[in-house]
């Protein structure tokens, strides 16, 4: 059974998941998980490899739809609206819930085009001048503007790994989402690039609800205010980050954060 810390019950929820199960064919990857994601905090999902934390994250913007064998049951609400409901369009959902992946995946186009692509397909900025504003604002928020402002026409793939990942973050915030999902965004980066990403998450946290999956407990401790610990497809414990790391209730959580397994 999931342990939810007492302070967590009164918070408002940007995303509310109830009894969510995910199946890959016959295999149950997520087993009856219920969670409320706060709009004001960075929420971290931690847990050993294969515990289903990434799978669960991908439910929030229905990226599991792209995997034919995956089946999601249960209720997921964004601002009280069922994301699987008939009134919710998946394209619109993904514009509202952005995602950053484990491996930086800029499009093999120019830096400018990488950022402008989202606003353009959603018709958020029609004129070149408007797009220029969006590109500059997104890159500035992602802390990349000063590094790339003189070479916006260069290919996005020519940047360093850390810069590519910040480009992907800029690409996600260019469509002005409400939530940003990050799936181990720093796991392919060196410590300096990682520090920059963590700094960036901190800066973005007031503006967007952020959910980050990480296998690094230090990272979770540094960037998040809420932490959920997953194990074998179940959410074991969910609470304020400081509580989870200093005063876990469940034995398994304690074992994991003290490095007993993972």
Partner 1 sequence: MSSPALPHDAGDAPQTRGPTRTPAFEKRLAQRYRAERNFRRIGLGAVVFSVAVLVFLLGNMLMNGVAGFQRAELAVTIDFAQSGVTGDPVSLAAPSAVQTLEMQGLPDVVTFFAEEQLGKDAAAEIAPEGWRDVAAALTADPDLITRSQTFYLPTTSALAGALQGEGPAELRALAQKLSDQGKLGRNWDWGFLARSDATSPQSVGIWGALKGSMLTMLVTLVLAFPIGVLSALYLEEYAPRGRWTDIIEVSISNLAAVPSIIFGLLGLSVFLALFPNLRSAPLIGGMTLALMTMPVIVISGRNAIKAVPPSIRDGALAIGASPVQVVFHHVLPLALPGMLTGTIIGMARALGETAPLLLIGMRIFVATPPEGFASPATVLPMQIFLWSDEIDRGFVERTSAAIIVLLVFLLTMNGLAIYLRNKFEKRW
Residue among 104 and 233 whose Cβ is closer to partner 1: 104
Stretch that binds partner 1, among 7-15, 71-79, 169-177, 205-213 (CB under 8 A): 169-177
Binding mask 55-94 for partner 1 (x = CB under 8 A): ------x-x--x-x----------------------xxxx
CA distances from 21 to 56, 64, 184 (A): 9, 12, 22
Alpha carbon distance 73, 84 (integer Å): 10
Please give the structure tokens belonging to residue 142: 């992602």
Q: How far is the CB of 160 from partner 1 (least distance, A)?
A: 15
Q: How far is the CB of 63 from partner 1 (least distance, A)?
A: 7
Alpha carbon distance 46, 230 (integer Å): 6
Alpha carbon distance 102, 217 (integer Å): 16
Residue in 121, 154, 242, 246 binding partner 1, rule: CB under 8 A: 121
47 binds partner 1 (CB under 8 A): no
Residue in 2, 110, 157, 187 binding partner 1, rule: CB under 8 A: 157
185 binds partner 1 (CB under 8 A): no
Contact indicator for 211, 183 with CB cutoff of 8 Å: no
Contact indicator for 250, 256 with CB cutoff of 8 Å: no
141 binds partner 1 (CB under 8 A): no
Alpha carbon distance 61, 30 (integer Å): 16
Contact indicator for 21, 81 with CB cutoff of 8 Å: no
Exposure string of 57-83, with b = 16+ CB inside 10 Å and e = fewer, is bbbbbbbbeeeeebebebebbbeeeeb
Q: How far is the CB of 105 from partner 1 (least distance, A)?
A: 4
Q: How far is the CB of 107 from partner 1 (least distance, A)?
A: 6
160 binds partner 1 (CB under 8 A): no
Residue among 91 and 129 whose Cβ is closer to partner 1: 91
Distance, CA of 59 to chain centre: 11
Distance, CA of 83 to chain centre: 16
Residue in 47, 118, 162, 185 binding partner 1, rule: CB under 8 A: 118
106 binds partner 1 (CB under 8 A): yes
Residue in 30, 59, 172, 220 binding partner 1, rule: CB under 8 A: 172
Alpha carbon distance 206, 133 (integer Å): 22
Q: How far is the CB of 98 from partner 1 (least distance, A)?
A: 7
Q: Which of 259, 256, 211, 251 is nearest to 3 (CA)?
A: 251
Which residues of the chain form contacts with partner 1 (CB under 8 A)? 61, 63, 66, 68, 91-95, 98-99, 101, 103, 105-108, 117-118, 121-122, 155, 157, 168, 171-172, 174-175
């Amino acid at each position: 059974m999931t342990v939810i810390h007492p302070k967590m019950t009164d918070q408002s929820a940007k995303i509310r998941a109830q009894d969510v199960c995910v199946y890959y064919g016959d295999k149950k990857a997520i087993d009856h998980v219920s969670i409320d994601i706060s709009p004001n905090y960075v929420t971290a999902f931690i847990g050993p490899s294969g515990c289903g934390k990434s799978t669960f994250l991908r439910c929030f913007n229905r990226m599991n739809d792209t995997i034919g064998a995956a089946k999601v049951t249960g209720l997921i609400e964004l601002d009280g609206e069922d994301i699987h409901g008939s009134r919710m369009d998946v394209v619109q959902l993904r514009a509202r819930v952005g995602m950053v992946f484990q491996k930086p995946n800029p499009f093999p186009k120019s830096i400018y085009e990488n950022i402008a692509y989202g606003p353009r397909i959603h018709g958020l900025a029609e004129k070149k001048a408007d797009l220029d504003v969006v590109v500059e604002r997104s890159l500035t928020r992602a802390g990349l503007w000063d590094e790339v402002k003189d070479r916006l026409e260069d290919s996005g793939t020519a940047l360093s790994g850390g810069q590519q990942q910040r480009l992907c973050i800029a690409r996600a915030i260019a469509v002005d989402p409400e939530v940003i999902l990050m799936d181990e965004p720093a796991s392919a980066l060196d410590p300096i690039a990682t520090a920059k990403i963590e700094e960036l998450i901190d800066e973005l946290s007031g503006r967007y609800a952020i959910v980050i999956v990480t296998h690094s407990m230090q990272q979770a401790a540094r960037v998040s205010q809420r932490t959920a610990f997953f194990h074998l497809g179940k959410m074991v414990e969910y609470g304020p980050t400081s509580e989870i790391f200093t005063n876990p209730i469940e034995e398994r959580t304690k074992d994991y954060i003290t490095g007993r397994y993972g």
